[in-house]
A = this chain, B = another copy of it.
Amino acid sequence: MTTPTPAATVLSGLDTVRPWLEDLYRHLHAHPELSMDEHETAARVVSEVRAMAGGEELEIITGIAGTGVAVVVRGGEGPTVLLRADMDGLPVQEATGLDYASTVWTQNRQGESVPVMHACGHDTHVATLLAALRLMLERRDAWSGTLVAVFQPAEEQYNGAEAMVADGLVDRLPRPDVALGQHVLPGPAGSVQVAPGPIMASCDDFRITMRGRGGHGSTPHQTLDPVVMAASLVLRLQTIVSRQVDPRATAVVTVGRISGGTKTNIIPDTAVLEGTVRTYDAEVAATCLAAIERAARAEAAAWGAPEPDVETFDHLPVTDNDRGVTDRVRAALAAELGEDAVRVFEPESGSEDFGVLPDAWGVPYSYWGFGGFDAAEWAAAEEAGTTDDLPSNHSALFAPVLQPTLDTGVRAMVAAAMEWLGR
């Protein structure tokens, strides 16, 4: 007879809470809210936490950056572990046909009526973190230390974590020793994806407005042609990745939008480029952004044109998993889920603002994925090389299978947290 691990002790209650977990998830899925508008979700988080606390006076901090919620459970001596879930949905019209599919429409910030869907699975994050919290509250005998559960707004807009930090997060919460987060992703339900180092790219969006001087298309010499400026600049931006960044580093400089002029024969006053920089290294990102600005200013100088406007926005750091923390997370997940269930998290060019929270304190973190697809369907797709064709995050058809997705999310979160807190 073997003694169960502390994590197993906590998770022994999973069978009991599962019906509540699944109902909670379905409710959240059917009631998505847009970024910074997660009022109902936040209220539900608070009411669920109050319910699971029993009579205990838990520290529940609400209204961080509007809708953010944090729960602090002080469980005696030991490390402080921050667990994070993001809460927001997307302006996507759900097409999954699920009986708990969203039919919500709401007004966006521009006053337009838009559909809303949990198309990125943040509902699974909220539900599994609440379940992990409930299970740990039920077995406080199994752990010691401080648990901080953070429910964050507006990950999709890349500014929710930043807004929480700006709203005093560091002063309002105890300093964690480690921060943990997870995301439902393509992959077989039941599996997790873990890797140390940079796993999600940094993001820096930019907008460049080249300023020329418009005029008739037949008299170019009386103008400063911003269309040619913008075109020339797009070509020059190619030299950043090809010549100015270490070939062994990963860097992308994409111009996703170019726009100048309205018709064939009128040279416009301005032309606009909008793009994004993705890297796995802050220094590389800085190199790219400096080169972009230098290139834009040089382009104007080449024509004797006015200074361009060069704006950057939507900055997200690299999600750069600490090696030591991640090695422990990996071991804990392998112990709980089995070695076979632990896959490698392949670096993604997508971006994520989770890291902004631990970065605010300068503490290490690890972020992992858990699969949301029917395992048989996924295996067949892997066999056929068609996994890219399955409806992924942000798709109107994105629909994680209920189980073992939710169970896996709960088990992973508990196992990882207990790696630090278990006694």
Contacts and interface: CB of A to CB of B under 8 A. Distances in A.
Interface of A: 201, 203, 205-207, 216-221, 223, 225, 227-228, 230-248, 250-268, 271, 274-276, 278, 294-295, 297-299, 301-304, 314, 347, 349-350
A217 B276 CA distance: 7
A90 to B, nearest CB: 14
Nearest to A302: B298
Contacts of A253: 242
Nearest to A219: B349
Contacts of A264: 205-207, 254, 256-257, 274-276, 314
A67 to B, nearest CB: 25
A303 B298 CA distance: 9
A255 B228 contact: yes
A247 B251 contact: yes
Contact of A245 (B207, B221, B262, B299): B221
Nearest to A257: B261
A126 to B, nearest CB: 26
How many copies of the chain does the oligomer comprise?
Answer: 4
A220 B304 contact: no
A28 B301 CA distance: 50
7 contacts: A201-B218, A218-B278, A256-B266, A257-B260, A257-B268, A265-B275, A298-B302
A71 to B, nearest CB: 34
A314 B265 CA distance: 11
Contact of A235 (B218, B232, B271): B232
A301 to B, nearest CB: 4
A221 B215 CA distance: 27
Which 4 A/B pairs are nearest by Cβ-Cβ distance? A218-B349, A298-B302, A231-B234, A257-B261
Contact of A274 (B240, B261, B295, B297): B261
A116 to B, nearest CB: 19
Given A255-B227, A264-B206, A295-B302, A275 B217 contact: yes
Contacts of A255: 227-228, 231, 261
Contacts of A266: 256
A247 B247 contact: no
Nearest to A232: B235
A304 B294 contact: yes
Contacts of A294: 301-304
A201 B248 CA distance: 11
